[in-house]
Amino acid sequence: MTAFTGNAEDILTQLETDSGTGLTGAEARVRLEKYGENKLKEKKKKTVFQRFFAQFADVMIIILLVAAAVSFVLALMGILRGDEGADYKEFFEPGLILLIVVLNAVLGVVQESKAEKALEALKSMSAPHARVLRDGHDAVVNASEVVPGDIIRLEAGDYVPADARLIAANSLKSEESALTGESVPAEKDAKYYIEPGVDPKSVSVGDRHNMLHSGCAVTAGTATAVVTATGMQTEMGHIAGLLAGERDGKTPLQKKLNSLGKYLGIVAVLACAVVFIIGKFVNQMAWLEIVMIAVALAVSAIPEGLPAIVTIVLAMGVQRMAKKNAIVKKLPAVETLGSASVICSDKTGTLTQNRMTLVKGYVVGEEESEDISDNNSRAVKKMLSYAALCSDGSVNVSDITGENEYIGDPTETAIIKAAKDNGTDKNVLDKRYRRVAEIPFDSDRKLMTTVHKIDKKFVVIVKGAYDRLEHVCSAGVAPKVRDMCDFMSSQALRVLGIAYKTYDKLPQAVTPENLETELTLMGLVGMIDPPRPEAKEAVRVCREAGIKPVMITGDHIITASAVAHDIGILREGEDVMTGARLDALSDAEFAEKVANVSVYARVSPENKIRIVKAWQQHGEIVSMTGDGVNDAPALKAADIGCAMGITGTEVSKESADMILTDDNFATIVDAVRDGRGIYDNIKKVVSFLLGSNIGEIFTVLAAMILFHATPLLSMQLLWINLVTDSFPAIALGVERVDKDIMRRRPKPKSEGLFAGGLWVKLVFMGVMFTAITVGAFYLGYCWQDGMRFDWLAVPSSGGGNLKAAQTMAFIVLSVSQIVHAFNMRSDRSLFVSNPFGNHFLDGASLLSAGLMAVVVFTPVGIAFGVIALSWQMYLSALALSVVPILVMELLKLAALPLRRKKYNRMK
């Protein structure tokens, strides 16, 4: 028998406790030893050192470390042997490589410093103290010392310290929206009874009216209950267990960059092998010379700045998104959001306003109901005034913000707000028509009664559930009223009836039997937690972008369906599924149905994870939005979790990858747009850097074969990769988002970073860079002085000016890549739009060119092996450097028909 089935006496017997005296102190200590403290456990976290060393488990980093080690050993051997020109400056190169690797590791640790705090947030939600019955007396103990079998006492404002079965309750309500998703506090009933034979799995948390749950707050009434579960055995603890069981998966971008690193590592190893074979067995080169070329080749194959630049681009994108109310906690998650093909969203507080609002009013005798506004009919205004008098909540204007402050039960504040909008202030009503008696609401009667002195008469006002109210009205109720109630209910409205009667003299006994009889029904009011105004448009844009919106809520199926239909999530032919129905399906059966289900109602945390994972098994990238504790496991299991910043619990915020600070579903649309734009820009950055790296690899191989020498020193390659290329690459990362980006379908999960023939384009760019760089190298190799060249200075002749050749190759490769950055802005011609429209790129290019000039024209160049050339040579280098503009413009012109076909298909 579970805690919520059977009667309370059976539970007390099962737990071996007494509701009158509670546990003894000795027994409580025994049980504390047996069950453990009433705390939530958390998994062991990695230390800072473990995280730091984990950063080195990357193929690109390992290759760089090997290159640094080889360079260091060679420099050390040269010094020990006393080689000519060998000094401690030779350690500059391996030191620089090592510095780059360490800085990359530190950056990774900083990024991962936002470690898991979800379990700590869950702990903070637990009550720090509890009032228990021990040895027949009330005692206040630490919440961690509460044990199963303890009798606890609660009142409005208390947090529940552990899961407990009600023994006695008076007008009890508990705020359980964080667990169930319901916006209205749950009414609790100690007498509520579930037959022991009922399958416990079929009874959701929201339907356990005789239970209180750990971490939830009591909003009204008082209660005595027996603790049935503590710590990890509570519903809150179960969620904590789900959180601990979910691993943080890598985002698609992380996976692609990791895969890229492995491929580049293989390329570097193969290239070094080719260099060794050709150099040793074909060109008969010295061993030391071959090793130096291999080091240069390894450095050229690795885009050292890529991880840092991608991180910077993501960080800049995050800053832009933060200005639009979307705070991203984990940088790579930006790209994931842009790739999202399914958005699973909670209803309460996410798609709706999480505030009950009166929308319909019906007065008995009228033909139709009225929409509640700020100028309703006199009859509706009177009914709202009576309903406000029979309410305990309040709506006041804040002196600080000037906005309404809602205090009390959401149902009552909705009534008071509607009355206030119609010119009737509850504070004024209370002073004018003083309340002289009342009968509080309770879950048995489902009615609330107040008595007021109005026009020298005692007016009894009763509000509550219509199905109870119609039976205590004097002349019965016309079928029209019942039809109107059914119609409002079918629209997912919560319907309350308002009735009254008058006395010249109030009965001596203020009891339901005396006052709640022979009433006159005034009418009905219907209220709902309304959709956010922006939600409908946001859903429409999501569908246009090829994203499937799915509502997942703990609310009732009628309410969920009505809201989903209203905002466009639920369309004709699509299915609605309850958690109970989902539980009855096998994984295979559910996999067949999941694509057509748009709304899930009355679901559990396990259901939410199962839904998310079912979509993931279909190859979809799933985003989950939510604000409650019940959303936290699914937020973590999803490819990207989006928590609400205002109404969201700390648990959901810490579990999520992104927080929407305005709790606005429409913010997701901007976030998706920015995510797609950032991914497009990252592809531009990767293409730009890899095209350059491929050009460097081909250049080194070609020069080695033709000239038996390396055209670029390792230091020069590092300068190009980390300095000359980095600033334009970062600037490409902030390129404006394509105006048609939200008209594309999400890219498939299996789509690689180089889809759409990008590898072919990269190889083409590499060949282009190789041609102009090797040409520049040969020009320098043959240069004597001024404009004199020895065109026969080839390897076979034993001549050639190697330093001049390397200087020319260095200048041309560096400047041509700066120029090429402008080609990478768009697939469209540079001359169709403003070629200098990206001011960040303009500034970055000038900065890179300036730094390059410092190396070429100042003594700094000595450290990079650069020598002075004639002005004619510098002019030749500049002419070769602008060749990529001409080549890429011709390529774009040739690809124009294909691009037009692509955009027509996209539309």
Model confidence pLDDT, tens digit, residues 304-361: 667 667 777 777 787 788 888 888 877 667 778 888 999 998 887 778 887 889 999 9
User: What is the pLDDT at residue 75?
Assistant: 67
In terms of DSSP bridges, do strands 447-454 and 457-465 run parallel, antiparallel, or are they unpaired? antiparallel
Amino acid residing at 896: L
CA 391, distance to chain mean position in Å, is: 39
Nearest to 163 by CA among 175, 147, 183, 141: 147
Say how far apart CA 598 and CA 829 lie, in whole Å.
43
Two structure tokens written together for 175: 């705020």
User: What is the pLDDT at residue 387?
Assistant: 96
Say how far apart CA 184 and CA 443 lie, in whole Å.
14
For residue 134, the tally of other CB atoms under 10 A from its CB is 18
In terms of DSSP bridges, do strands 640-644 and 658-660 run parallel, antiparallel, or are they unpaired? parallel
Rg of the chain over Cα atoms, rounded to whole angstroms, equals 36
pTM of the model: 0.67
Are residues 133 and 151 in contact, defined by beta-carbon separation less than 8 angstroms?
Answer: yes
User: What is the pLDDT at residue 797?
Assistant: 41
For residue 722, CA distances in Å to 60, 92, 299, 808, 897 come to 14, 15, 11, 19, 36
Residue that is written with structure tokens 């009965």 in the block: 507
Residue with the larger pLDDT of the pair 358 and 300 = 358
The 10 Å CB-count burial string (b at 16+, else e) for 579-606 is: bbbbbebeeeebeeebeebbbbbbbbbb
For residue 755, the tally of other CB atoms under 10 A from its CB is 12
The 10 Å CB-count burial string (b at 16+, else e) for 661-699 is: eebbbbbbbbbbbbbbbbbbbbbbbbbbbbbbbbbbbbb
- List 58, 150, 158, 346, catalytic entry: 346
Task: Note the helical H segments in 557-639.
Answer: 557-567, 579-583, 587-593, 605-617, 632-637
Over range 213-218, report the average pLDDT.
84
E strand intervals along 334-386:
342-345, 357-363, 370-371
Two structure tokens written together for 332: 């790579």
User: What is the pLDDT at residue 127?
Assistant: 39
Residues 9-66 have pLDDT tens digits of: 888 988 999 988 899 999 999 999 999 988 877 656 677 787 777 777 766 677 667 7
Are residues 810 and 864 in contact, defined by beta-carbon separation less than 8 angstroms?
Answer: yes
Please tell me the least confidently modeled range out of 411-425, 427-441, 632-646. Answer: 632-646
pLDDT band at 104 (very low <50, low <70, confident <90, very high): low
Please tell me the least confidently modeled range out of 78-92, 258-272, 804-818. Answer: 78-92
Question: Catalytic site residue 566?
Answer: no
For residue 258, CA distances in Å to 11, 57, 117 come to 55, 10, 26
Q: Is the dihedral of CA 592, 596, 602, 603 positive or negative?
A: positive
Two structure tokens written together for 679: 């991914």
For residue 457, CA distances in Å to 383, 438, 452 come to 18, 16, 8
Residue that is written with structure tokens 């979509």 in the block: 615
Residues 733-752 have pLDDT tens digits of: 888 888 778 888 888 767 77
CA 403, distance to chain mean position in Å, is: 29
pLDDT band at 814 (very low <50, low <70, confident <90, very high): very high
Average pLDDT for the chain: 82
E strand intervals along 817-906:
none
Residues 820-874 have pLDDT tens digits of: 999 988 877 877 777 888 899 999 999 999 999 999 999 988 878 899 888 889 9
Say how far apart CA 842 and CA 850 lie, in whole Å.
12
Are residues 607 and 600 in contact, defined by beta-carbon separation less than 8 angstroms?
Answer: yes
Amino acid residing at 793: A
Start-to-end CA distance of the chain, whole Å, equals 59
Residues 523-577 have pLDDT tens digits of: 999 999 888 888 899 899 999 999 999 998 877 888 889 889 999 999 999 999 9
Residue with the larger pLDDT of the pair 33 and 707 = 33
Helix axes 535-544, 557-567, angle to 10 degrees: 70
In terms of DSSP bridges, do strands 151-155 and 129-134 run parallel, antiparallel, or are they unpaired? antiparallel
For residue 489, the tally of other CB atoms under 10 A from its CB is 15
The torsion of the CA quartet 142, 143, 146, 152, rounded to 10 degrees, works out to 100
